[in-house]
Amino acid sequence: MPPRRPPVAAVFRCLALALAGVIPAVAAADPAATLARATAAVQAALAAPGAPWALRGATLEGHRLTLDLAPGSAAPEPGTLAFEQHSRLLHRAASGPLAEAFPGFEIHTLLHGEPLDRLLAARDPQPALPPGPPRAALLAGRRIAVSPGHGYYQNAAGNWVLQRGTWQGIVEDFVNHDFITLLRDELAATGAEVLSTRQLDRASGNGESGFPRWQEAARYHVKALGAPATVWNEPGFDHLSQDIRCRPLWANHVGADLLVSLHNNGGGGTGTETLYDTSNGFGPESKRLADAVHGRVIAALRRDYLAAWADRRVQGFNGSYGENRLATRPAILIEVAFMDRPTPDNAAIQDERFRALVARAIREGVQDYLDGLAPAVPADLAATATPGGVRLAWRNASAQTAAFRLERRLGEGAWTALTSVAAAATEHLDASAPAGTALAYRVAAVNAAGASFGFSNEATLLAAAPPPVVPATRAGAWLGNLSLRTQLPAEQGVTVGFVVAGGARRLLVRAAGPALGAFGLAGALPDPRLDLYRGAERVAGNNDWPAALTGTMAALGAFPFPAASRDASLLATVEGPHTAVVAGPGGGAVLVEAYDSGGQPEGRLVNLSARHRAGAGADLLIVGFHLAGQGPARILLRAAGPGLAALGVPGTLADPRLEVYDDRGARIAENDQWDAALAPVFAGAGAFPFPAGSRDAALVATLTAGRSYTVQISGPGTGEALVEIYALP
């Protein structure tokens, strides 16, 4: 549904000439040639007067085209109506070459390398999908939201105007209504509950505009239905934008199973296309719905109306269009035909037989999607803390379930897959739940056709308090804890690594930001977030520390966090190499700590590391560690700068200097350039080699247990540096 403004339409018409009418059947695609044609088409569109972007680059991976745009000074803000209109111009340009090459395709948009859906996340936060009622087979009992789009709305001057003008005797605002009314009848005849974003009763009288209610835009209809103002009157948007946004928001509000929007096109093209969003959490389900509906419509029109009807394919986008983007359920938008194409499109739109064919085909496509495919959403999920972990129980609401998929969220983190269990099981013990952490769970039903159309209710709890800390009784000395204090720029993180060998240990990991204010440190990171990884797998995380860890912190000698502060902390059982990543909104000082709190007797922290930007003055990288136990211990300390560059890390510190201080502030060792005689020591400790003659720093020190030590990394200039601490045999 592109804007009907003359400059945009003119560009569309030029592009349509290049498409040469009906898009042919898909042939074997030449990726390089397809990318070249798509890029040329986009460049031509961007050459039009008033284009707000320049093309930084384009790539084609499989059937996905990625456009990287550089916004100009007057570029519209992502998520606005103007942004959607200009995006559609570029997508229309690229769709011709892509449709010739692929049966379906996706176009992803980047702005200066940043994914569009990420830029939209803060502007359009998505509410959780509410659990739906148990679903009957086929369409009976399903809640289907339908949206005919457009209609009278009040503009900034206070006048009531139509969103689309007259094209050869018809107005899209009213034609869409004709199609949706027929679709309503088709769906209702099967027992579905049809929920329209616009008034479908043409005998309902006049609305607040003074025009018939059925001609008014969705904003005024959902308002009259009693929807909350958050659906139809969002602050910061005019009535036209509110109308577009309220369509998916209302479908969310009423708990529809899915949303089908219908529009008619413009811009000089021809044929039918169906759009879905790839990044709103329902991309795969929306594509499955789009494929089913689009396939039925094209087949019906070519069979019963016009054999050469143009297929403009199923198209996926990463957040460009709010009518799909804001839906928290499967959602599609079908553009049936081009109103400004006299034949066959405009003539078809005015043909009652054509409208009836389209309406029936959409119903058949929805029925194909729903018919015996996905099971109903599980219900009544409950989570109970037990000594062995968290016990989960739920109710199966569908005879079609083949298995259940459980997901878990740690604190305010992202949902991650926990496990899958057979359909006969409606209970599961999460023995891996990290103690003292705020947890949330949800469950979906799955079968061979896919997953249920939503998740169960979320069950939340605070996992059982961790076991008391028992002082270690091991002989010798060992690394007891690590701490790193640094200054984080906005939206950047710091990574701390550690290796546990010989058995598992329980580690208390903390990220202190607000708590540093008690020590007179201003400008701390206001809300640190902590994530723990084993390789690429995120195994634990925390955003706001749980009060259940108060006793553990005290027993380990860690300074207390203020009650309800936004510092982060977690307790996890660790064996082998792990990394902790700390980041947060804004920037500021942060202290990252890891404490050994007990575990298997032979388990030891044998390696601690931290990578961050280092330099002189305020960029000094400071790492502290405590040597627990008794007696002396040989410790290898390294500061890698050029050694990182040899591994492909950009922007490294050219000449790091390493200094070691004891807990009295005395400097006890230093090095500015490592000694080649240490190469065998590196190999024995499992450390990566330094290039011969490099300006990295390293030393071996014999240190006394029961004391704390500080390592400082500095150097001329600034750059990425890695500080490493190894316990040697």
SS3 (DSSP) at 22: coil
> With the C-alpha atoms ordered 683, 685, 691, 694, is the resulting torsion angle positive or negative?
negative
User: Dihedral (C-alpha) 131, 137, 142, 144: value to the nearest 10 degrees?
Assistant: 110
Amino acid symbol at 674: W
- Is 569 in contact with 509 (CB distance < 8 Å)? yes
379-462 CATH, one of 3.40.50.970, 2.60.40.10, 2.60.40.180, 1.20.1630.10: 2.60.40.10
Local confidence band at 357 (pLDDT 50, 70, 90 cut-offs): very high
Dig out the tokens for 513 from the structure: 């930001």
Burial of 587 (0-12, 13-18, 19+ CB in 10 A): middle
Q: For residue 647, give Cα distances in angstroms to 542, 651, 656, 690.
A: 31, 12, 16, 10
Neighbours of 202 (CB within 10 A): 12
C-alpha to C-alpha distance for 323 and 84, rounded to whole angstroms: 10
Task: Provide the residue ranges of all domains of the chain, joining segments of one domain with +.
Answer: 6-20+27-121, 143-367, 379-462, 472-608, 615-729
Lowest mean pLDDT of 17-26, 196-205, 379-388, 568-577, name the range.
Answer: 17-26
Task: Please write the tens of the pLDDT for every residue from 408-449.
Answer: 988 777 888 888 888 888 899 887 787 767 888 999 888 766
Q: Percentage of the chain surpassing pLDDT 70?
A: 89
111: Cβ–Cβ under 8 A, 6 or more apart, which residues?
68, 69, 70, 71, 78, 119
Task: Please write the tens of the pLDDT for every residue from 266-281.
Answer: 888 999 999 999 988 7
C-alpha to C-alpha distance for 501 and 505, rounded to whole angstroms: 9
> With the C-alpha atoms ordered 288, 291, 296, 299, is the resulting torsion angle positive or negative?
negative
Given this model, what pLDDT does residue 57 score?
92
Given this model, what pLDDT does residue 316 score?
94
Q: Mean pLDDT in the chain?
A: 84
Local confidence band at 297 (pLDDT 50, 70, 90 cut-offs): very high
Task: Please write the tens of the pLDDT for every residue from 463-521.
Answer: 555 554 444 445 677 888 888 888 887 767 888 888 888 888 888 899 999 998 888 88
Query: In terms of Cα–Cα distance, which of 460, 401, 449 is closest to 426?
Result: 401
- Tell me the Cα Rg of the chain: 31
Same fold, 379-462 and 472-608: no
pLDDT(13) > 50:
no
What residues pair up with 259 in beta bridges, in sequence order? 145, 331
Amino acid symbol at 211: F
Given this model, what pLDDT does residue 22 score?
36
pLDDT(309) > 90:
yes
352: Cβ–Cβ under 8 A, 6 or more apart, which residues?
none
CATH topology of domain 615-729: Jelly Rolls (2.60.120)
Average pLDDT over residues 117-142: 59
- The enclosing H or E element of 236 equals none
Given this model, what pLDDT does residue 501 score?
86
Query: In terms of Cα–Cα distance, which of 535, 608, 518, 530 is closest to 571?
Result: 530
Evaluate the omega torsion of the peptide bond into residue 344 and state whether it is cis, within 30 degrees of 0. Answer: yes
472-608 CATH, one of 3.40.50.720, 3.40.50.620, 2.60.120.380, 3.40.30.120: 2.60.120.380
DSSP-derived pairing of the beta strands 104-111 and 311-317: parallel
For the chain, report the end-to-end CA distance as a whole number of angstroms. 70
Given this model, what pLDDT does residue 450 score?
64
Assign domain 143-367 to a CATH class. alpha beta
pLDDT(18) > 50:
no
149: Cβ–Cβ under 8 A, 6 or more apart, which residues?
1, 172, 173, 176, 218, 247, 261, 262, 263, 323
Query: In terms of Cα–Cα distance, which of 605, 577, 662, 632 is closest to 480?
Result: 605
Given this model, what pLDDT does residue 5 score?
31
C-alpha to C-alpha distance for 569 and 240, rounded to whole angstroms: 46
What residues pair up with 588 in beta bridges, in sequence order? 488
141 backbone φψ class: left, alpha, beta (φ>0; ψ -120 to 50)? left
399: Cβ–Cβ under 8 A, 6 or more apart, which residues?
none
Which residue carries 């240190």 as its tokens? 703
Of residues 457 and 582, which shows the higher confidence score?
582
- Is 108 in contact with 317 (CB distance < 8 Å)? yes
Q: pTM for the full model?
A: 0.53
- Is 442 in contact with 418 (CB distance < 8 Å)? no
